Amino acid sequence: MLDPGSKAGQVAATIRSRILSGVYAPGSFLPAERVLAEDLGVARNTVRAALDSLARDGFVRHEERRGTVVNSAFGGGTDATFLLVSPTLEEHSPSLLTPEAMALIGNTLCACSGSNIQFHFQAMPPEGARELVRIVHGARLAGVLLVECSEPAVLEALHDEGIPHVVINQEQDMPGPATRVDFWQIGRHAAEFLLDLGHRRLGVLSGPSDRHLYGRMVAGFRDRLAEAGGSLRPEHVAHVKSCSEAARSAALQLLSRPDRPTAVFCTRDVRAYGAYLAARDLGLRVPEDLSLVGYDDITWPGEGRQFLTTFPEPARELGTSAIHMLISWIRTGIVPEDVIICPELVIRRSAAPCSEEGDADDGNR
């Protein structure tokens, strides 16, 4: 598996993104290795390693003396029915989904529009692994796609039964195969963006500290600050659930401090909304007095989310890549490598250069 932080891993991610966005259409030949190397500013052997990785994952195939062709994951006679398993919220009906899960499911289904692929939709059964395996065998399903699966027993059972399966957007520290977001890099990029705007007193409004994705985002944020000679003060970090009122309450305490942060990274947009409400309660203007950066581009309520600078959760790429991986496993019998995606920051109007004199001097140092 390529290290996503390596040059070859970054090249593979760029080419995969171009394939999924339609820049390189199914059935078309990719530019020659030499052209790709010049375009991406890397050596040809780096491009070759990236293309070999994409071929293993089923995105492309090499044709001798002709070049590299983009596969059509949903064409070529693919005619299968998959089990699509949704997560459930604790203490709620199985029919109730988070906005993030709905976005992932919707984009996965849209990616198969016009194909011969069909889905059997199923909430994670209360009986867990045994019932899921029974459903797959009973309906003779070709494979399983699980949305944000957090139950290791289920993954172990599917593995033991030899059932092809892929987790869409695995946010836990669990083995694959899965599509994942590079949360550590998101944290780094968020810190770098705010540092470039001149902010030095930085805060983080994150989720529960025992959740893997939030821990990785905060770790990446701290890492980039340390590289710049700064640090993240413990009193400038709050951990709250994904709820705007909980985030508002935590942000009120954070922003009422005499040494309050001038910028806050929020690990969900709904937390950024809570911070926005708290700033308004305190008479602080966003972005003039407080800059906000979020993650997901889904959970800020209403149309106001077009105001927030954020890293969008790459729902379409996560879902489409998972289908590529599952079909590749079924066709070749080889378990695919994880696909790790780092979305680019969408800059809107919630972040601006630091306006407080002296902030760059004292800051989080």
Pairwise CA distance, residues 152 & 149, whole Å: 8
The total domain count for the chain is 3
177-190 confidence digits (pLDDT tens): 999 999 999 999 99
**Model confidence at 205: pLDDT above 80:** yes
Of 22, 46, 70, which residue is a domain's last?
70
- Is residue 348 domain-resident? no
Q: Supply the CATH number for residue 53's domain.
A: 1.10.10.10
Q: Could you tell me the CATH number of the domain that includes residue 256?
A: 3.40.50.2300
49, 102: one domain: no
Indicate if 115 and 169 belong to the same structural domain.
yes
Nearest Cα residue to 314 out of 298, 330, 333: 298
Q: Give the torsion sign (CA, 238, 358, 277, 88).
A: negative
Residues 172 and 187 in one domain: no
Average model confidence (pLDDT) across the chain: 88
Full-prediction pTM beyond 0.85? no
Domain of 88, in residue numbers = 80-181+314-341
Confidence of residue 364 (pLDDT cuts 50, 70, 90): low
359's enclosing H/E stretch is helix 359-362
| DSSP H helical ranges for 233-314 | 244-255, 269-281
Q: How confident is the model at residue 64 (pLDDT cuts 50, 70, 90)?
A: confident
Same domain membership, residue 153 and residue 214: no
Regarding whether 88 and 40 lie in a shared domain, the answer is no
Asked if residue 361 belongs to a domain, the reply is no
CB 109, CB 71: distance < 8 Å: no
The answer on 284 and 196 residing in a single domain is yes
Residues 191, 94, single domain; the answer is no
In order, the DSSP letters of 175-237 are -SSBEEE-HHHHHHHHHHHHHHTT--SEEEEES-TTSHHHHHHHHHHHHHHHHTT----GGGE
Contact 143, 162 (CB under 8 A): no
What is the per-residue pLDDT across 298-313, written as a single tens digit (0 to 9) for each? 999 877 778 999 999 9
| Rounded-to-integer distance, Cα 18 and Cα 139, Å | 35
Task: Note whether residue 16 is domain-resident.
Answer: yes
Q: For residue 347, is it within any domain?
A: no
- Shared domain for 27 and 176, answered yes or no, is no
Q: Is residue 128 part of a domain?
A: yes
Half-sphere exposure of 256 (CA within 13 A, CB side): 9
Q: What percent of the chain has pLDDT over 70?
A: 91
Residues 177, 192, single domain; the answer is no
Q: 12-26, 196-210, 275-289: lowest mean pLDDT where? A: 12-26
SS3 9: helix
Do 286 and 209 share a domain, yes or no?
yes
Give a yes or no: residue 365 inside a domain. Answer: no
**202 and 304: one domain?**
yes
Pair (99, 31) in one structural domain: no
